[in-house]
Amino acid sequence: MRVKSKKPDLAQGDLTPMIDMTFQLIAFFMVLINFAQTEANDRVVLPSSKLVKPPEVALEFPIILHVAQDGEIVLGGDEFTVETLRIGLQREMSVIKAEGKTANDANVVIRAHQDTAMGDVQEVIRVAQEQNLINFALRVKEDNR
């Protein structure tokens, strides 16, 4: 009597979950990179300071304003002048109000170029104060010398 030997079937893995996870990771890092770019602007070289200290807690509702050397202001990738900045700030305030918060909850972070005239920065602060924004932070880089 002959016995037939049966070869075991090779198990094949389902690659669908692995591919799905790969696409989720790609999407996650793309979003992360976009958030990191809102904090930086090539046209702004921050001044350095030995007295700089990081904030004790993370800012909950930051409105990041980049002030270039020529006085142009970048907010959320859009370019404004001091005269038109009000429009961009109103847009940001509508988002904050949609979250059930007020202007007191917002934090205006000003990243001004090291050679920007202080008068330009003061004008940015004045326009923001006209929109009832009261919390301000100036960004600088740490001088380790």
Q: How far, in Å, are 80, 81, 92, 94 from residue 88 at the CA level?
A: 8, 10, 6, 10
User: Is residue 29 assigned to a domain?
Assistant: no
- From first to last of the 145 residues of the chain, give the pLDDT tens digit: 676 767 766 777 788 889 999 999 998 888 777 554 456 677 777 777 777 777 777 778 889 899 998 889 998 888 999 999 999 999 999 988 998 988 888 999 998 888 888 899 999 999 999 999 999 988 888 776 6
Classify residue 50: in a domain, yes or no: yes
Which range marks the domain in which residue 128 is found?
41-142
**Residue 136 burial (10 A CB sphere; 0-12, 13-18, 19+):** middle
Q: Rounded to an integer, what is the distance from CA 27 to the centroid of its chain?
A: 17
136 backbone dihedrals φ, ψ, rounded to 5°: -130, 150
79 lies in a domain? yes
Is there a contact between 109 and 63 (Cβ–Cβ < 8 Å)?
A: yes
Residue 104: inside a domain, yes or no? Answer: yes
The domain total for the chain is 1
Residue 78 falls inside a structural domain: yes
**pTM of the predicted model as reported, rounded to 2 decimal places:** 0.67
